Amino acid sequence: MKAIVHTEYGAPEVLHLQEVSKPIPNANEVLIKIIAATVNRNDCGFRKPEYPLIIRPINGLFKPKRKILGTELAGEIEAVGINVKSFKTGDKVFGLSAWKFGTHAQYICIPEHGSIAIMPANISFNHAAAICDGAYFALNNLKQIDFKKTKNILINGASGSIGSSAVQLAKYYGATVTAVCGTKNIALIKSLGADFVIDYLKEDFTKNGKHYEVVFDAVGKSSFFKCRKILQPGGTYFSTELGYLAQNIFLSLFTPLFGGKKVLFPIPKDRKEDIVFFKELIEAGKYRAVVDKVYAMEDIVEATRYVETGMKTGSVVIAISHAEEK
């Protein structure tokens, strides 16, 4: 099978197409023919470690252990292990291989009870592939909020994969959402449910005199120290990035101890029930994936360069294979 492989750390050019062995499912696994995947910040962060003291001990000090990147997928089950009960050959599925990666390939094996589910009805493979990564990171943070008591949230980076997911999920939970994005994405973010939108090209949200119970930096371009003044007493700051010198991890350890404004940095964990939850939201018309561009496997370097500009809207999809005509 074809896969996008990298055998060394470095710039996007280290990625290349290569023939590799097709996996064989174990008794409790399904073999998925991948139709679509995405390129996201996790892929970029593991390919060229932004935080080498954290990533390299996990993924290899000198060369990457995970040579095939990619965390999101949508595809069709081609084979099932002898103990698999909840899936069958031909099922259309979507989901995550969050920390094992491997979706930048034509096939992958995933445990039956892993983070996969039947695809939502009436959705394309490209859009199904773009559902889970942003939603899973957003939900991981939003789960820490008691929305019965906390209603006022600002989401910075609202047009990215995580940010656009956070806007929709926060609205689902009943929050009043102020979203921060660029001019070209204002209409999109309003259509996703944001109550108020701030154009960061025209206004600094940390200097407009407004205050929030929660600030969620979904793009990692601000900091607790910049946002602390706009947090209400007892307010909470979340970020999807570790921050300078991994400061958000350290701040999350001691700021909650003082009972005032605090940083929370929950470690993300993907779960099957979350994937099922996303499916139910989509089928109920309460969530939609945002796809910016679709690239062929052969254009992985160009796709990765685009993701690394930090200017994508929603997700960047990689077309891996073609669906079989039924």
% of the chain beyond a pLDDT of 70: 98
| Long-range contacts, stretch 286-289, CB < 8 angstroms, 24+ apart | 286/168, 286/172, 287/131, 287/135, 287/165, 287/168, 287/169, 287/172, 288/127, 288/168, 288/192, 289/123, 289/127, 289/128, 289/130, 289/131, 289/134, 289/314, 289/315
Give me the mean pLDDT over the 302-324 stretch.
92
| Model pLDDT for residues 109-141, shown as the tens digit of each residue | 999 999 999 999 889 999 999 999 999 999 999
| Model pLDDT for residues 225-264, shown as the tens digit of each residue | 999 999 999 999 999 988 765 788 889 988 988 889 999 9
The answer to whether 240 and 137 have CB atoms below 8 angstroms apart is yes
Does the pLDDT value for residue 60 go beyond 60?
yes
Q: In CATH, what class is 2-133+270-319?
A: alpha beta
Q: What is the pTM of this model?
A: 0.94
- Which CATH superfamily does the domain covering 144-264 fall into? NAD(P)-binding Rossmann-like Domain (3.40.50.720)
| Long-range contacts, stretch 241-245, CB < 8 angstroms, 24+ apart | 241/217, 242/51, 242/54
What is the reported pLDDT for 54? 81
Domain ranges for the chain: 2-133+270-319, 144-264
